[in-house]
Structure 1
């Protein structure tokens, strides 16, 4: 019996590797669209049609994770690349799906929980229905990304936007960097430590994507995050308790600004208050394996030591 095909655009990074492994174990034949052709990867540039589009014909699932990393300085050239890498890849995939005789029945497109505005203190958490969309650069990028997705002329294909929070894993993403710094005493609150952190174990990220694929009545935007966000100071305390560094170095905002400049990144990535909950996933019956951060870190941090 022929295995169902899953096409994964932009699947060469941290999340892509986990999805390839997860869906391959479920019995899917996974085809990755990437910048360089190699075994298991079909080349595309994320902007224009090409031979890669034939992979979509008759595919069971399309997932798009393509987009330039936001871990950079937000100068004009990078801003342009961040926006265009997301909107161009989404647009050209929509064109390719529209041209299929047998298009994929479901298309999951990456988005981000950063679509919501800074939510400090006791304000209610952002849900899909009641979230407050922001107006700064990163928030507008997310909105343009989702707008391009909604404009795709694919009436026969169910669309799901993945508003993912910070995904924690032992082999990529933010956690290995945070853990390395914590070992050397940077396990203190970042800034005032009051900013909320919405997060998700990488296992639950893959399971949530599987859940959304398997339930044909689910479409639209979904927050992909654990149901219990926590303040930055609580997250750093968990890292501190695990690594028990000999000394502790303070991380005031001004020092983080200097560090971000030297590392060619932006402090928004750690100082913005992201308070997001997965209302729609919970209402649909999804059960998290790691709903609380202490359990998630207890699973992941030993893999880093």
Structure 2
């Protein structure tokens, strides 16, 4: 069978990819690599452990693989103290570096390596969408993480394979990520706009994320950096309105910035994750002919509520 190796397979998106491959591509055998065991792995798939920073027996799985996918990285949903900042950096750079080194040692190298990245690399933008060709790189801690992450990935640019970097936006799915949190807040009455509400939210349904990744893998012309998000971003205010509508909620309170500042401290996160305007267009992805199953936020949220 053709082989896929998926790193950080135990996360929300990793689990979605496992289910996607099992359902849609039964001719592929997937090796799930993670620090901890994975429950309910399909019978034809296998699991291998790693520590995310050193070579080990897991490297054997890369031999003759058609696709390697790396999603590893500590969640940014935390307070940005020195310990967490160091872990955010190291979890991304170490995992990317060690996978590259392992591929270099392969006798029969993989065909395609897809690595996670983030659309957070772009500037805070309210009016102008950032594309791969004319996007403006921002400043600050999160952007520095993204820049170092991408630099580490492309340090292996001389490998004889296709390298695809996914600058991914907010991924919306029932089983994890931000959607269950926002849904719970809305049901508690906190479903109003956050801050001024004019910050742009670029987003993608988890099914479209899996489809886009597979589309790029299958397209031999695909190489380099790709924005991965719906072509129809919305403002925070509009997102919250459509979320309430999908849940059948009429009562809501807006959340001014002072409330978000206090709330972020209380739940152990950073208000930047809510207030930064992430405004991108997937110019290269749509240019290759990719079609979204859930192009609008209305379709996306309606599906997630089923």
1:148 aligns with 2:146: no
**Alignment deviations for residues 87-118 of structure 1 (CA, whole Å, 9 cap, x no partner):** 00000000000000111110000001101010
Q: Pairwise mapping of residues 11-90 of structure 1 onto structure 2 (< 5 A)?
A: 11-25=9-23, 26-27=25-26, 28-37=28-37, 40-90=46-96
1:41 counterpart SS class = strand
Matches of 1:37 and 1:194, distance apart in 2: 41
Q: Which runs of 5+ in 2 are unaligned?
A: none
Cα distance change on mapping 1:139 and 1:171 into 2, 3 Å:
same
Cα distance change on mapping 1:189 and 1:65 into 2, 3 Å:
same
2:112 is matched with which residue: 84, 106, 110? 106
Contact 1:44–1:52 (Cα < 8 Å) also in 2: yes
Q: Pairwise mapping of residues 1-305 of structure 1 onto structure 2 (< 5 A)?
A: 3-25=1-23, 26-27=25-26, 28-37=28-37, 40-120=46-126, 123-152=127-156, 154-245=158-249, 247-302=251-306
Matches of 2:156 and 2:51, distance apart in 1: 19
1:94 counterpart SS class = helix
User: TM-score if structure 2 supplies the norm length?
Assistant: 0.95
Matches of 1:286 and 1:205, distance apart in 2: 11
Matches of 1:98 and 1:154, distance apart in 2: 10
Matches of 2:282 and 2:80, distance apart in 1: 29
Matches of 2:12 and 2:36, distance apart in 1: 16
Matches of 1:146 and 1:211, distance apart in 2: 21
Of 25-34 and 86-95, more deviation after overlay is shown by 25-34
Query: 1:126 Cα shift?
Result: 0.3
Contact 1:167–1:205 (Cα < 8 Å) also in 2: yes
Q: Which runs of 5+ in 1 are unaligned?
A: none
1:228 counterpart SS class = coil
- Count of aligned residue pairs for this structure pair: 298
Cα distance change on mapping 1:154 and 1:57 into 2, 3 Å:
farther
Query: 1:247 Cα shift?
Result: 3.3
Quote the RMSD (CA, aligned, Å).
Answer: 1.2
User: TM-score if structure 1 supplies the norm length?
Assistant: 0.95
Query: 1:19 Cα shift?
Result: 0.6
Query: 1:154 Cα shift?
Result: 4.8
Contact 1:97–1:154 (Cα < 8 Å) also in 2: no
1:265 counterpart SS class = coil
Matches of 2:37 and 2:214, distance apart in 1: 26
Contact 2:247–2:305 (Cα < 8 Å) also in 1: no
Matches of 1:246 and 1:117, distance apart in 2: 34
